[in-house]
Structure 1
Amino acid sequence: MNAVLFDFSGTLFRIESTESWLRAVLRETGIALPEPELAEAARALESAGAMPGGARPERLPAEFAEMWAVRDQSAELHRAAFTGVSRQVPLPDPALHDALYDRHMMPTAWTPYPDAEFVLRTLRERGIAVGVVSNIGWDLRPVFREHGLDAYVDAYVLSYEHGMQKPDPRLFAVACEALGVDPKDVLMVGDERRSDGGAAALGCGVHFVDHRPVTERPDALRPVLDLVGQG
């Protein structure tokens, strides 16, 4: 293997909990909610799938279905889709829905998995190129910089910048071209079987990890080092 492509959310980084997300925005806006109401609102937002990088909607309203399917193809669609489902949940101030969306793009809302730095650094030491391929509607580069991982990434391929999203093989092809590698010499690592599995159509190897809380997944990325070594 000459290169490894990584997904972002649920693979290298994990978003904060829905309650932490809501609590941070309420604190920033100076709005107070009694604890039972805050907990209930957080549960409702999670059920709605309102937090990007969080749980999927339990029941997606029909009016959002078409937009939801292509939400990662532009910044505008991404914001509209997530704030749209968020607005299904009553909050004390309607402006909170946009504030919540803005919060999820902050580096402080994200935590790298415990073994992410070690694995990325080891790949760099071995001369293995690294790319990040993400279905996303905003620039995640500041997240990597803030957490000290940007130095280990050679290329970022973000769906909204290319108007296409995984599992479209063309997005993985863009990443391989950016790294100057043949797809058959590339390993794609992600947590979504359908989306990240699209790399297999190009001939890339594919390895999956589970999208779990950071505290529950201390070393799931380490097998990547063995897989690359085995080719």
Structure 2
Amino acid sequence: MPFFKAVLFDWVGTLIVPKWGPTRGQPRGASWIGSSLRQVGREVSTAEVERVSAALNAAGRRPDVAEGWAGADLSAAAHRENYDRWVNAAGVDRRLAGVMYESLCDATDNQFAVDVEPTLGALKAAGVKVAIVSDIHVDIRPSFAKAGLDTYVDDFVLSFECGACKPDPAVFRTALERLGVQPDEALMVGDRSGHDGAAVEAGLTTLLVPPLTHVTEKRLHLVLATCSVPGL
């Protein structure tokens, strides 16, 4: 019998590789920046990708930008406002910034890690409920539908819909209420200690894994082991 009745998963960094985040052997956001440069018909050299990445990194350290991200996922408008502040501070021109933002907001333009489907399938087969709990400004359900994973998910708790972002305990409580389980009956899985790790304050056992840097990385067997669920 599974040890937990439900598992709550973070999305970005836990199930998919962040578009703006660590990438194995490349500058932060290299693939995202490169594909956006290509779309606007510009040079996609290593030097240019590194230049844009470095500018965004520097801009992201500005207090006004860093602080703005705290509540940016409460709405699409708030997210766009802080995104514009970020790219403007980095000196990214409007055309490139627009294409980059379209990509950033396209939830279907993401690849899940190779162990996501077998893990969700094993949980489903064991009768364990699953919720996706994400700080996000757009609907990510189409991403799961495109990947054929939507049938494994019982509910989505998204910050822009529920009006709260992690680490607010209200986010985790909402997920528990929707799944009909108690805090000690659920496991939270995420990649950020300051956000996902806050689930312990709501009474949930929490498993933190390093952020994904490539879709071939496998870490979710730890979830099945923690839940005492055999893999498929």
Q: Deviations over 1:26-78 (max 9, x none)?
A: 3333x2226255223332255147xxxxxxx3x2x233344222112222111
State yes or no: 1:224 paired with 2:223. yes
1:19 pairs, out of 16, 30, 47, with 30
Question: 2:7·2:129 contact (CA, 8 Å) conserved in 1?
Answer: yes
SS of 1:127's equivalent?
A: coil
How far off its partner does 1:158 sit?
0.6
CA distance in 2, matches of 1:15, 1:62: 22
Residues 1:127 and 1:80: Cα distance change in structure 2 (over 3 Å): same
Give the equivalent residue in structure 1 for 2:183: 183
How far off its partner does 1:20 sit?
1.7
CA distance in 2, matches of 1:45, 1:159: 28
Give the equivalent residue in structure 1 for 2:45: 35
Q: Deviations over 1:145-168 (max 9, x none)?
A: 112211111100011112211011
CA distance in 2, matches of 1:223, 1:22: 32
CA distance in 2, matches of 1:34, 1:227: 43
Amino acid paired to 1:68: W
Q: After the TM superposition, which segments of 4 or more aligned residues of structure 1 sit over 6 Å from their partners?
A: none
Q: Which deviates more from structure 2 when the two are superposed, residues 152-161 or residues 66-75?
A: 66-75
CA distance in 2, matches of 1:69, 1:45: 21
Give the equivalent residue in structure 2 for 1:76: 77
State yes or no: 1:164 paired with 2:174. no
Q: Which deviates more from structure 2 when the two are superposed, residues 118-127 or residues 82-91?
A: 82-91
Amino acid paired to 1:224: V
Question: 2:111·2:215 contact (CA, 8 Å) conserved in 1?
Answer: no
Give the equivalent residue in structure 2 for 1:124: 124
Give the equivalent residue in structure 1 for 2:26: none
Give the equivalent residue in structure 2 for 1:52: none
Question: 2:56·2:90 contact (CA, 8 Å) conserved in 1?
Answer: no
Question: 2:6·2:185 contact (CA, 8 Å) conserved in 1?
Answer: yes
Task: State the identity %.
Answer: 35
Amino acid paired to 1:3: A
Give the equivalent residue in structure 2 for 1:2: 5
Residues 1:116 and 1:36: Cα distance change in structure 2 (over 3 Å): closer
CA distance in 1, matches of 2:149, 2:132: 11
Question: 1:83·1:98 contact (CA, 8 Å) conserved in 2?
Answer: no
Q: Which runs of 5+ in 1 are unaligned?
A: 50-56
Amino acid paired to 1:87: N
Give the equivalent residue in structure 2 for 1:85: 86
Give the equivalent residue in structure 1 for 2:111: 111
Question: 1:72·1:165 contact (CA, 8 Å) conserved in 2?
Answer: yes
Give the equivalent residue in structure 2 for 1:54: none
Q: TM-score, normalised by structure 2?
A: 0.85
Q: Which runs of 5+ in 2 are unaligned?
A: 24-28
State yes or no: 1:138 paired with 2:119. no
SS of 1:132's equivalent?
A: strand
SS of 1:88's equivalent?
A: helix
Question: 1:48·1:85 contact (CA, 8 Å) conserved in 2?
Answer: no
Aligned residues: 218
How far off its partner does 1:208 sit?
0.8
C-alpha RMSD of the superposition: 2.1
Residues 1:168 and 1:154: Cα distance change in structure 2 (over 3 Å): same
